[in-house]
Amino acid sequence: MRGRSGGHYRSLGGTGKEGGGLALRWAHRGRDIIIGSRSPERAAAAAQAMNDRLGVKKVSAASNQEAAERADIVVLAVPYAAQTSTVDEVATHLQGKILIDVTVPLVPPKVTRVQLPPGGSAVEAMQKRLGDTVRVVSAFRTSQHTIWMILIKSWNVMRL
Ligand SMILES: NC(=O)c1ccc[n+]([C@@H]2O[C@H](COP(=O)([O-])OP(=O)(O)OC[C@H]3O[C@@H](n4cnc5c(N)ncnc54)[C@H](OP(=O)(O)O)[C@@H]3O)[C@@H](O)[C@H]2O)c1
């Protein structure tokens, strides 16, 4: 897997706040990123905005399917209601890869309270669904998206 040495990370829901924040942060640290979206046009606009902001071309765009196929490490950052359907659509491309799931089980309108699925763990349920050939990791669920911007600003200040 090329991920640690600069391979392709990818973010399903990368046009959103959390997926976009992670993508921008990793691109800022030199990683190659593929933004996946249900709309290739939205992905392209998000990727362009990130490249413009960073001043380097580290971010590319694709449909969710294509991004999952090309990536080594896949980040899932969609609303909980779309977690399972989004993963099912790309499951064949996840085999042998790492899936980082940042999805928090919040169900509107009670978005202030986590609503765990039967069995008590959303990530265990996802691991079971995908099988042992995919490594499902739960991460960044308590990291508010604004932290990624703050880290980038701090990094730039430190480099001056
Ligand atoms: N915001 C945070 O600070 C934060 C922190 C930790 C964890 N999280 C978790 O991260 C996930 C995303 O949160 P967010 O705040 O980034 O949300 P968001 O800004 O609304 O972005 C979510 C993205 O998911 C995609 N999406 C939306 N509805 C979808 C659907 N029905 N089916 C498939 N894809 C859909 C959209 O991308 P396209 O329309 O381009 O496909 C959208 O850009 C949530 O599960 C949230 O609990 C958020």
Cα-to-centroid distance, 78 and ligand 1 (Å): 3
Minimum CA distance residue for ligand 1 atom 15 = 17
Q: Is 104 in the pocket of ligand 1 (CB under 6 A)?
A: yes
136-158: average pLDDT: 77
Q: Is 80 in the pocket of ligand 1 (CB under 6 A)?
A: yes
Ligand 1: residue of 37, 78, 85 to mutate (most ligand atoms within 8 A of CB) is 78
Ligand 1: residue of 15, 18, 50 to mutate (most ligand atoms within 8 A of CB) is 18
Q: Is 44 in the pocket of ligand 1 (CB under 6 A)?
A: no
pLDDT at 157 over 90: no
What pLDDT is attached to residue 6?
47
What pLDDT is attached to residue 42?
95
Q: Is 86 in the pocket of ligand 1 (CB under 6 A)?
A: yes
Confidence of residue 158 (pLDDT cuts 50, 70, 90): low
Cα 8 to Cα 22: distance, rounded to the nearest angstrom: 13
- Give CA 40 to chain center in angstroms: 16
Q: Class of 3-159 per CATH?
A: alpha beta
22-27: average pLDDT: 92
Q: Could you write out the DSSP letters of every residue in the chain?
A: --GGGT-EEEEETTTSHHHHHHHHHHHHTT-EEEEEESSHHHHHHHHHHHHHHHTS--EEEEEHHHHHHH-SEEEE-S-GGGHHHHHHHHGGG-TTSEEEE----EETTEEEEE-PPTTS-HHHHHHHHH-TTSEEEE--TTS-THHHHHHHHHHHHHH-
pLDDT at 29 over 50: yes
Cα-to-centroid distance, 159 and ligand 1 (Å): 31
135-140: average pLDDT: 94
- The string of pLDDT tens digits covering residues 70-125 is 999 999 999 999 999 999 999 999 999 999 999 998 877 777 777 787 778 888 99
Q: Which atom of ligand 1 is nearest to the CA of 106?
A: 47
CB atoms inside a 10 Å sphere around CB 144: 11
Q: Locate the domains of the chain by residue range.
A: 3-159
What pLDDT is attached to residue 156?
62
Minimum CA distance residue for ligand 1 atom 48 = 18
